[in-house]
Amino acid sequence: MTPQDAVLGWDEDTNAEAYAAFTRAHPMYDITSRDLARRARLDDARLVVDLCGGAGATARAILDLVPARARVVSVDNAAAMQRVGRRTLTDPRLSWVTAPAEQLDDHIPSGGADAVVCNSAIWKTDTLRIFNAVAHVLRPGGLFAFNIGGGFAGVRHPDAQLAPEGPSLNTLIRQVAARDHGYTPPPAVAGQLPKLPLATVTGQLAAAGLSVLDTEVTAQHSTMAEKKAWLSVPVFARPEGDFTHAQRMEILDAAYALTTPETPTVTSWLVVVAHRPPRTS
């Protein structure tokens, strides 16, 4: 069953517009999209799937790399996100399918895709179902490139250890919320394991008939200013709990005032490239 938070908030126009505006103004999603598209080896692709494609940031990167004759299909469950994408990305090679990612194989021909790319969303899906669906739609030898946030994968890039010391913006948000609103953060669970460590991912991929070709822990370099812009998107806003968006923005502004805008920040990612093994004669 798909987790309840899989599309919570995404199918709202306010979130979709704010998210799309962030992707246009800041490089984070463009950089990660281009990295995955490059790893998917799209030079000779005829059909590529942008899985959990949202408003089209990753589709744009894919379209820059595929041949002129190729088709790209962006699959996402949030119609509001796709409405923004349809308005801003009008390449005739791109089509949109509004459906849960887990139902990918209901919309793509069996063995018809040369590659599937999923940026910044795989951990919000039922990965067992996703991997089986991807295996069904990939041609033999086809590639599946996706990434997992470092916290979900339990990885940390060395650059993150070299980042300037001091509290993160998320930590400052919780501190301001506690000081000004009596907020009590949820208790940390001792010994809590990452949701999608590489061993789990590799096992699930193998169970679906997919083999891992390459993995890498990468670093996304940003600033406090970009982090603030990201946390201003309603669906990303903090802290958790019974706050209005206006209250969260007030807390965010107070927390951000305690930082230096150009302070570097580093986000870690686990990048995985798998494939459907070619047929053997």
Averaged pLDDT, groups of 10, the chain, 281 residues long: 49 94 94 98 98 97 97 97 95 97 96 97 95 98 98 94 83 96 80 89 98 97 95 94 94 97 94 92 58
State the pLDDT at residue 45.
98
Structure tokens at 47: 């059909």
Read off the tokens for 245.
């968006």
What's the rounded Cα separation, in Å, for the pair 25 and 122? 24
Residue-level pLDDT at 193: 84
Residue 266: per-residue pLDDT: 93
Domains with residue ranges and CATH for the chain: 13-157+189-220+266-275 (3.40.50.150)
What's the confidence (pLDDT) of residue 190? 54
The pTM of the full predicted model, rounded to 2 decimals, is 0.93
Instruction: Note the pLDDT of residue 191.
Output: 61
